[in-house]
Structure 1
């Protein structure tokens, strides 16, 4: 059995009720084993809370997507205003471990190098450690348009996404275009 993947517009995702039994989101979560299901419920709740705060509810979200050629899964890929955010959610983690930062960066670079839509797009790896202390960091972007991993507790994810979207504008990436070349 293949690993479950969920995709939706940000608008639809941000308005779904997690406990609303028969939705595609509930079906996605219910495919996981019980201990994983509880983690995914927390991840989805955090993402919904943050994405509802975006002033532009355009864009798309993919959950549990495999990073090309890495054999690892990304918790979330957010396509927003022409940018790609590769999000790793470490629920209840108290620090931003070097291993998690490296994993986030590797996943972002995997999309940059192996997903045709990402070749000329700005990509931001994001590590959320929900029990860590907030930390600010400078924005550094490589020549191939991959930012250094941004670390946050999750409480400022919407602000982080909107900040990047205001700085680096690009043509919108539709979910259909993304999936067509996957």
Structure 2
């Protein structure tokens, strides 16, 4: 009996270790566009994540400063055979607004234990005429080459949540983890 218990504990421990997600520090100034072909002209934020599978890189970049419309490009790259391959990309552009990444508000996890990381990031929409005037906060989730969003707006005091049409399709453990993060997030500017 004791032997079976030890084996069971070892198997559970091994399973938990395999489901871990590790964040790797990335210096955005050292990212070579020839190795990682990101869309924008300037990187706002970059994070690398490792699981038992291949490494992933998340890059948020913007268009040239001073252009008429502010654009934010959210991209996920997968490292295969020492090359970074674009896996998914989402562009954001809103008239008369500036998009600001919250580099200290992000999370990486594997709540459904499929060895494919769930990666969420927070950014805000601010008035182009006054960047201190926040219009909305957006959570962007990368999950299995798909994007999911939750948005809260200053116009309704951040009390109402606006979900992307596909949000309900998320597996329950992922949805629960994301919603818990969102509910604990201070959205006020």
Same fold (TM over 0.5): no
Which of the two has higher C-alpha Rg?
A: 2
What's the TM-score, normalizing by structure 2? 0.33
Return the TM-score normalized by structure 1.
0.34
Query: Larger % of strand: which?
Result: 2
Q: Choose between structure 1 and 2: higher helix proportion.
A: 1
